[in-house]
Amino acid sequence: MEKKARNFREYEVWQIAVDYATDVYELTNTMPWFEKKGLCDQLQRAVVSISSNMAEGCARPSDMDFCHFLDLALGSAYEAETQIIIARNVGYLNEETHISLLERLQSIERQINGLIRSIRSKKTSS
């Protein structure tokens, strides 16, 4: 039995992750020019990967495949969290921006984790 593809646009966490990536892009534009191929590039890739993996996973026919891509999205979020901490440590982010970015990102992480748990628990109760 083939499943219908999910619509990634309907997941609130995907929408939040896209907005977050957009904000991070705007923020990295204010970082030093010599970081454009370093920390900026890494951080941009990580935040874009969160929503991108969620979208790609939605096209997969099985819940197991979808969860695999959600796991990848979560890994990207953790990667971005690490890079945000480093950006703060080297003085590219003030404390207020640092805390705001981390709080928003951790909310995304919790939502992805909740979605993963929901899908996996559905599989075990079936």
Per residue in 46-74, pLDDT (tens digit) is: 999 999 999 999 999 999 999 999 999 99
What residues contact 113, with CB distance under 8 A and at least 6 apart?
Answer: 74
Fold assignment, 8-125:
de novo design (two linked rop proteins) (1.20.1440)
Q: Which residue has the tokens 């805390």?
A: 99
Q: Please report which residue ranges of the chain form alpha helices under DSSP H.
A: 12-28, 39-58, 63-89, 95-125
What residues contact 3, with CB distance under 8 A and at least 6 apart?
Answer: 61, 62
The ranges assigned to domains in the chain are 8-125
pTM: 0.91
What pLDDT digit, counting tens, does each position of 81-110 carry?
A: 999 999 999 999 999 999 999 999 999 999
pLDDT of residue 1: 43
φ, ψ of residue 92 to 5 degrees: the values are -85, -15
Q: How confident is the model at residue 122 (pLDDT cuts 50, 70, 90)?
A: confident
